[in-house]
Amino acid sequence: MKILIQNVHAVDKNLDSVTDILIQNGKIAKIASGIDEPCDRVINGQGLIAMPSFFDMHVHFRDPGQTHKEDILTGCQAALAGGVTGVLAMPNTTPPVDSPEILQYIIDKAKGTGVRVYPVACITKGMKGKELTDFEELKAHGAAALSDDGKPVRNAEMMRVALKKAKEANMLIASHCEDLNIINGGIMHKGSVSEELGVKGMDRSSEEYITAREIILANSVQGKVHICHISTKGCADIIRTAKQLGVQVTCETAPHYFMLTHEKLRSRNANDRMNPPLREESDRKAIEEAVIDGTIDCIITDHAPHTQEEKADFEKAPNGIVGLETSFAAVLTALYHTGKISLQRINELMNINPRRILGLPRETIRVHAPANLILADLNKKWVVDVTKLHSKSCNTAFRDMELTGKVMMTISNGEIRYEYEEPKETKKPKKTRKES
């Protein structure tokens, strides 16, 4: 398919101009003004931004074994609606991803979706924390990284050995930082709101302690470690200092951690519960600052679908929210439209850095590059309607919120895989007078 995008504002590293983009045979064929060639599709890009498509290095597609919540196909549809053409899929499925057979299942099922799904394999067999998996074998069968996400590796010596073996295998370990003894059944941030609601809280020291532990262990073997979904001021400070000292540590956060606080849980809605939890305003500000100053490398979603039935009980519901379809809009709303970061910085956070950390080539808008890009309306205001999400689940903390900025089209390998359609207005039936 031959596609011409006209008069679009293209933004990439070292690119910031209004131009035409010609796509042919899955690649970018020309970037210039006034391209005039017969095409299968001509798109008026006036008023739109073209950017390289995004990579979310922390998602849960629940496949295999939990496909009532999500599966690889619906997860990929949600990703495309958010401008994402590459994801790192976490291994806490049923069964966990600890064998070549499960890796192959995920890779095969993702083929043809328009999204590159890179599976993460478990650090320990069955995620039980007792025996390490065979890193080399898992890598040979397609594992892009290692994690026991959803729970930490509790034994510090086992984690140290894992970091050493991961270094030898040239693999990244992504750590879910949480001390389960400190958590002790907590379901939300430990603070004034948890006390008011009369529920067990999750003390921030749990996340900060294991973050510090992982950094010390990685440094002891001269290896690298990636810290998942940081949410506290303490974690940001620890990681910032470690980077200054030369430790090979990277980290990520999600939009809810720099946009929302535990105050949102006063309504006792389990769709506002995730792990780590929403923290206090001081934490929110610190996470925002860490995104701005470069301490945080990536913005991810931790897309974690659960059914409405599972989320019905505030105190018993599982943790997690969906986020693939709102992430870019949330970042634009909170950080770009407020003048805190540029589109180039968003490109770093959502495209360049996650792919660099994983050793993958970044998507780029240049001639001969694969045509993986988005078209977005930065100023389009829209309200998050959970009934319009492409995910099987609708457990979002951004429900009914107005966001500014929308992905209008996602192109993957030269093929239009997602195109936004304005919702049709439903005509209200005319009122009739009751017969007397």
SS3 category, 19: strand
pLDDT of residue 434: 38
Same domain for 410 and 268, yes or no, is no
In this predicted structure, the answer to whether residue 145 has a pLDDT above a threshold of 50 is yes
The percent helix, strand, coil of the chain (3-state, each to 5) is 30, 25, 45
In this predicted structure, the answer to whether residue 432 has a pLDDT above a threshold of 60 is no
| Percent of the chain residues topping a pLDDT of 90 | 96
Same domain for 212 and 277, yes or no, is yes
Same domain for 180 and 293, yes or no, is yes
How much is the pTM?
0.96
Q: Domain containing 227 — which CATH number?
A: 3.20.20.140
Same domain for 171 and 195, yes or no, is yes
pLDDT of residue 433: 38
In this predicted structure, the answer to whether residue 304 has a pLDDT above a threshold of 90 is yes
Q: Is the pLDDT higher at 436 or at 269?
A: 269
Give the max Cα distance, the chain.
87
Enumerate the active-site residues: 302
Residue 422 confidence class, pLDDT cut points 50, 70, 90: confident
Mean pLDDT of all residues in 24-40? 97
CA distance 178 to 204: 9
Mean pLDDT, the chain, whole residue set: 96
Answer yes or no: is 431 within a domain.
Answer: no
pLDDT of residue 84: 98
| 329-340 per-residue burial string, b: 16 or more CB within 10 A, e: under 16 | bbbbbbbbeeee
In this predicted structure, the answer to whether residue 159 has a pLDDT above a threshold of 60 is yes
Q: How many domains does the chain have?
A: 2
Same domain for 346 and 372, yes or no, is no
Please write the tens of the pLDDT for every residue from 307-346.
Answer: 999 999 999 999 999 999 999 999 999 999 999 999 999 9
DSSP string for 300-353? ---B----TTTTSSTTTSPP-B--TTTHHHHHIIIIITTTSS-HHHHHIIIIIH
Answer yes or no: is 424 within a domain.
Answer: no
Q: Which residue type occupies 238? A: I
In this predicted structure, the answer to whether residue 428 has a pLDDT above a threshold of 70 is no
Mean pLDDT of all residues in 30-56? 97
Same domain for 264 and 391, yes or no, is no
Same domain for 43 and 59, yes or no, is no
Same domain for 145 and 177, yes or no, is yes
Same domain for 387 and 306, yes or no, is no
Answer yes or no: is 425 within a domain.
Answer: no
Q: Domain containing 12 — which CATH number?
A: 2.30.40.10
| Centroid of chain to Cα 60 | 9
Residue 430 confidence class, pLDDT cut points 50, 70, 90: very low
Answer yes or no: is 350 within a domain.
Answer: yes
- Domain housing 32: 3-50+368-419
Please write the tens of the pLDDT for every residue from 119-133.
Answer: 999 999 999 999 999
pLDDT of residue 191: 98
Please write the tens of the pLDDT for every residue from 243-255.
Answer: 999 999 999 999 9
Same domain for 346 and 378, yes or no, is no
pLDDT of residue 425: 64
Mean pLDDT of all residues in 417-433? 68
Same domain for 160 and 221, yes or no, is yes
Answer yes or no: is 266 within a domain.
Answer: yes
pLDDT of residue 436: 28
Same domain for 306 and 384, yes or no, is no
